[in-house]
Amino acid sequence: MVEKIIAACDGASKGNPGPAAWAWVIGRADGAIDRWEAGPLGRATNNVAELTALERLLETLDPAAPVEVRMDSQYAMKAVTTWLPGWRRKGWKTSSGSPVANKDLVVRIDALLTGRDVDFVYVPAHQVDGDPLNDAADRAASHTARTQEPTGSAAGAPLPPPEAPTRASAPRARSSAPSGSAGASAGGASGGSGGGAGARRTRPSGGTLKARFSGRCRCGKAYDKGETIAKNPDGWGHPTCV
C-alpha cells in the first residue's frame, strides 16, 4: 500500500497584482518538512499564484500516491473541486455568462487531478500554532515574491524566516455576491468532485460572504472580488482573521 503524502502549497502577490511567486512543501511521517520548492512568477495576481502553486505541487508528486493537500486559499480549492464541473458545462462561463478567470491554469490542474486520490484540506493562514506545512509554504512564497529568485531544499536553501507582522485596514466591501467573477460562480456549479477526477474532497468552512470588491485584510494579504470574507474589527477580510 502506497503511503499517503501530506503536502501544502501557497502563493503570494505583493500588490495583487504585483511581484508574485508559488511554493510547495512536502512533509515527513513525523510531521517535519521533507522538501520544498518556490519559484517566481513576475507580475501576477494572488489567485494565479495560488493555482500555480497547486499545479507545481501536483506535477512533483507521484500520481499513484494518495495525497492530502493543505491550502489557505478557498478560491483555489473551490475552483478545482466545487466550481469546475459547472464551468465546464457552461462552456467555461460563470453563472453570469462571463469568461472564467484563470481558465488555462484550472484546466491544467483538472488534468493533473484526473484519476488521483486527492484530499484538499483548508487550513487558516497566519495563525499562532497554525499548520506548520502551510506556514512554511507561505513563508517560501512570500520570500520568493520579493526576491523573484527560485529557491528550495534541492539547492540546499534554508526555509525563509517568518515575515514581520503587518496590519492594514481593508476598504469597505458590501456583502452580496458579485456577478461575473471566477470566485462567485459556485451557485452555477455542482459541488463535490467532477471531470473524471479520482477523489477531490474538501473540508469547507461556513458563515461567510462574498466580496463585491477587492480589498486588503487586516493580516496584510489582499483578497479579490468574489473571495469569501467576513467582518472584523478593522473592516473586512479573511474569515480566519476575524
Beta-strand (E) ranges in the chain? 5-13, 18-27, 33-44, 67-71, 117-122, 151-152, 199-201, 209-210, 215-216, 222-223, 228-232, 235-237
Selected catalytic residue, list 138, 152, 194, 215: 138
Residues facing 68 on adjacent strands:
6, 119
Fill in the DSSP letter of residue 236. Answer: E
Selected catalytic residue, list 55, 110, 117, 126: 126
Q: Are 111 and 197 in contact (CB under 8 A)?
A: no
Q: Are 217 and 240 in contact (CB under 8 A)?
A: no
Selected catalytic residue, list 37, 55, 72, 135: 72
Angle, CA 200 vertex, CA 216 and CA 122 arms, to 5°: 35
Selected catalytic residue, list 11, 27, 39, 215: 11
Identify whether 110 is a catalytic site residue: no
Identify whether 34 is a catalytic site residue: no
Identify whether 117 is a catalytic site residue: no
Give the separation between CA 157 and CA 143, rounded to whole angstroms: 12
Identify whether 192 is a catalytic site residue: no
Catalytic residue positions, numbered? 10-11, 50, 72, 126, 138
